Amino acid sequence: MSSPKTTMDPPITLGLPLDEPTPPDGCGVCQALAHQRAEAAERGDLSRVSDCNVEIRNHHLLPLPQEEAVSMDTSQDIDTARSFAWCSWHKGFSDTARPVQLDDRGSTFGARGLFACVGCRKIHSLTPVADRP
């Protein structure tokens, strides 16, 4: 029979917090996240500030595979009204995301369901709800 441990574990060591990421020029998603981060900082919502920092850092980390990236054509989205939405396939914000599956319950705050960006729509052969017959 052994006696229970009566001493504490050693303290954990944390590194210094990372610097706030700078959004790259030309990326509307990262610019919008930086704007949300600034608003959250003004409100004192440090959890949201941290979330925005993570999103900005990770937004450009997962490039599409080369064989699929070369044939991307965004011309179908040029005349379409754009807004920022969460792409349910690559798990990130996009300014080309459109609904591809709607939730039956509906919502008074806009479309509910799954959205996909132009790249994920091409890769996964998804058709936006508005483009279906």
Q: Please tell me whether residue 20 adopts helix, strand or coil conformation.
A: coil
| pLDDT at site 8 | 84
The reply to whether 94 and 121 lie within a common domain is yes
Number of domains within the chain: 2
* The length of the chain, given as a count of residues: 133
Q: How far is CA 77 from CA 15, 16, 43, 119, in A?
A: 43, 42, 35, 11
Q: 90 and 128, same structural domain? A: yes
Q: Which residues contact 133 (CB under 8 A, 6 or more apart)?
A: none
DSSP 113: E
Q: What string of DSSP letters covers 10-57?
A: PPP---PPPPPPPPPTT-HHHHHHHHHHHHHHHHT-HHHHHHHHHHHH
Domain identity same for 84 and 129: yes
Q: Are residues 89 and 52 in the same domain?
A: no
pLDDT at 44 > cutoff 90: yes
* pLDDT of 19 above 80: yes
**Domain assignment of residue 48, given as a range:** 27-61
Please state, in angstroms and rounded to a whole number, the distance separating the CA atoms of residues 87 and 118.
Answer: 9
Quick: pLDDT tens for 60-90. 765 544 433 333 444 444 444 446 778 888 8
Report if residue 67 sits inside a domain. Answer: no
Mean pLDDT across the stretch 114-118?
Answer: 84
Integer CA distances (angstroms), 17 to 31, 50, 86, in order: 22, 10, 27
Q: Is the domain of 50 the same as that of 94?
A: no
Does 125 lie in the same domain as 88? yes
Location of structure tokens 């509906």: 106
Same-domain pairing of 57 and 83: no
My answer on whether 47 and 90 are in the same domain is no
Residues 127 and 98 in one domain: yes
What's at 41, amino acid-wise?
A
Element (H, E) at 98: strand 98-102
pLDDT, position 64: 41
Residue 40 lies in a domain: yes
Q: What confidence tier does 115 reach under pLDDT thresholds 50, 70, 90?
A: confident
